[in-house]
């Protein structure tokens, strides 16, 4: 697990909340949440779900570091964006850094969708113990939770790959103290 550590070229790890380690960034995505989105694919995932759509994002020592300022410049250059999607890999493996990015996106008036292999319950249980988890969740509008389950895969699901995953309205869920599913 990366825990906000970034693997340098020589293999050492250090915490850096000015950058995120990414497998890639896709501009103008229409499949990673509602509207037109910038999708940031986190590098590093310990879930290793069989049948994962993005297995190249699993190794923690792959990808590249991209400054949050550089990502914000990409966002600022695209006036058509409705929001930013944090996906992966596993954004919660770099929660502190992704929380900084998510807060900046929210301050710009855009929405944030975060995909995670962790369940809502796991995040709530651990968000006070794990650095950045509370902040990332608090700056997320829509959370798609749960590991991909190939036995429950369906191409008919919107914004998710398997039927065990949920599309959660974070603000309403936090206010009510129970999971409220997001609906368009």
Coil, strand, or helix at residue 166?
strand
Classify residue 123: in a domain, yes or no. yes
Contact 62, 21 (CB under 8 A): no
Classify residue 85: in a domain, yes or no. yes
* Nearest-10 crossing angle of helices 95-107, 68-76: 30
* Number of domains observed in the structure of the chain: 1
Classify residue 61: in a domain, yes or no. yes
pLDDT at 1: 41
Q: What are phi and psi of 157, to 5 degrees?
A: -90, 135
Classify residue 184: in a domain, yes or no. no
Q: Give one word for 19, left, alpha or beta, with left for phi > 0 and alpha for psi -120 to 50.
A: beta
**What pTM was estimated for this model as a whole?**
0.91
pLDDT at 16: 66
Walk along the chain (184 residues) and give the pLDDT tens digit of each residue.
444 444 444 444 445 679 999 999 999 999 999 999 999 999 999 999 999 999 999 999 999 999 999 999 999 999 999 999 999 999 999 999 999 999 999 999 999 999 999 999 999 999 999 999 999 999 999 999 999 999 999 999 999 999 999 999 999 999 999 999 998 7
pLDDT at 7: 44
d(CA 161, CA 149): 8
d(CA 39, CA 55): 16
d(CA 91, CA 10): 23
Classify residue 168: in a domain, yes or no. yes
Classify residue 33: in a domain, yes or no. yes
pLDDT at 15: 54
Give the residue numbers spanning the domain of 13.
5-176
Classify residue 182: in a domain, yes or no. no
| Token couple for 145 | 């939770």
Classify residue 22: in a domain, yes or no. yes
Could you tell me the CATH number of the domain that includes residue 30?
A: 3.20.20.70
């Amino acid at each position: 697990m990366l825990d906000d550590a970034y693997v340098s070229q020589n293999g050492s790890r250090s915490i850096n909340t000015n950058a995120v380690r990414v497998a890639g960034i896709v501009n103008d995505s229409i499949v990673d949440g509602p509207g037109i989105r910038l999708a940031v694919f986190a590098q590093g995932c310990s879930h290793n779900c069989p049948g994962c759509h993005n297995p190249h994002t699993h190794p923690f020592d792959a990808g590249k570091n991209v400054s949050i300022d550089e990502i914000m410049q990409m966002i600022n250059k695209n006036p058509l964006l409705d929001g930013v999607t944090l996906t992966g890999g596993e954004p919660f493996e770099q929660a502190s850094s992704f929380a900084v990015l998510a807060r900046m996106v929210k301050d710009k008036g855009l929405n944030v969708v975060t995909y995670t292999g962790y369940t809502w319950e796991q995040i709530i249980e651990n968000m006070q113990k794990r650095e950045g988890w509370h902040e990332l969740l608090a700056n997320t509008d829509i959370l798609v939770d749960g590991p991909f389950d190939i036995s429950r895969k369906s191409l008919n699901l919107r914004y998710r790959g398997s039927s065990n995953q949920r599309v959660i309205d974070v603000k309403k869920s936090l206010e009510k103290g129970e999971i409220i599913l997001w609906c368009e």
